[in-house]
Amino acid sequence: MSKAKKICVLGEFAVGKTSLTRRYVLNSFSPDYQATLGVSLYKATANLQRGEEVALVLWDVEGGEYRASALDRYVPGASGAFLVSDVTRPKSVEALSFFAERFQSLSPGCPMVFAANKVDLAHQEETVNLARDIAKTFDASLMETSAADGTAVPEAFSSLANEIYLRAEG
């Protein structure tokens, strides 16, 4: 039995969605910023805690609340979402709620994992806490990640993959 799941990577622009995804899939990082237009697609294989493998098709959707229509187009059918914020930009953390709500409305009941990204640049405790609070309100976990140095990146995606299956079984 083959398994594949669609996961959407959402968040404000320039929070590091593409960097996180590329770090996870390609194990690479570029400090140069190139905005994603539309969606970028990646495929990765995750090992579940119960010993199985699952193919993850990652939809790296362009950021920005003003591009809400992109969410409507690309999110449906997703089994989970990875919501990314930039700890150096509090506004990007605040925007998590918008993306989380939007995701829940488009893929009801599907798990989310929040990422407080760019922790390598500066540890903004306050911002991280804000993100954690938002995650809690959506019954989701928060991972402090860094695409630049790879901190907690695999764990974050694996966590989401496991959560998807736990949620499905539960």
Partner 1 sequence: MATQPTNLSPVEELRELILGRERLDIQTLKDRLGQVESKFSSPEAFEHEVSQVFSGALKAASGAERQRLVTILSGLLSSSVRQEIKLAQPEILDALYPAASQLVAEGIRASFRDLKKSIEKQIAARLSIFQALKVKAKAMMTGRSEAEIWLEVNPPFDIEQALVIHKQSGLLIASYQNQSDDELEGGGDTTHDPDLVSAMLTAIMGFAKDAMSEDSTGELTSLEFADGVLLIQSSSSVILALKVKGHPSEEFRDCFSTEFHSFVRSWSGSLATFDGELEKEEETEINVGLEALIDRLETNVERPAARSEKKSRGTMRFVLLAFLFVMVVVGAFYIILDWWRDRIVDQAQETIYSTASVTGYPLTASYDDEFNLIRVIGIVPTRFVAEELRENLRRSLGGREVSFNLRVLHDELVAQTAREQTALMVTNSRGVKKLETAISLLRREIQKFDAELADGRFEDGLRKGFAEDLATMGNRIGQMERFIAEADGLRIPAVGPVQVEPDEETIPDPFTETVSVDSLSLEEINHQLLNAEEASCRDLLTEFVQAGLDNAFVQAALNTTGDQFSLSPLDFEGLARCSTFEFDRQGQLYDEAKAKKIIDALAGKAWGELGERTLEIRAYVQLYREETENRHFAERIAGDIQKRLLAKGIPAEWVKITPIIADQQRVGNGSSWRTSDFVYFGLMDKNQESE
Q: Which residues bind partner 1 (CB under 8 A)?
A: 1-6, 28-32, 38-39, 41-43, 55, 57, 59, 69, 73-74, 76-79, 168
60 near 11, Cβ under 8 Å? no
Q: Considering the complex, what minimum distance in angstroms separates the CB of residue 1 from partner 1?
A: 5
Q: Considering the complex, what minimum distance in angstroms separates the CB of residue 19 from partner 1?
A: 11
10 near 17, Cβ under 8 Å? yes
Q: Considering the complex, what minimum distance in angstroms separates the CB of residue 93 from partner 1?
A: 27
Burial 68-79 (b: 16+ CB within 10 A, else e): eebbeebbeebb
Which of the 8 DSSP states describes residue 54?
E
Which of 122, 168 has the CB closer to partner 1?
A: 168
Q: Nearest Cα to 100, choosing from 134, 74, 70?
A: 134
Which of 125, 169 has the CB closer to partner 1?
A: 169
Which of 66, 125 has the CB closer to partner 1?
A: 66
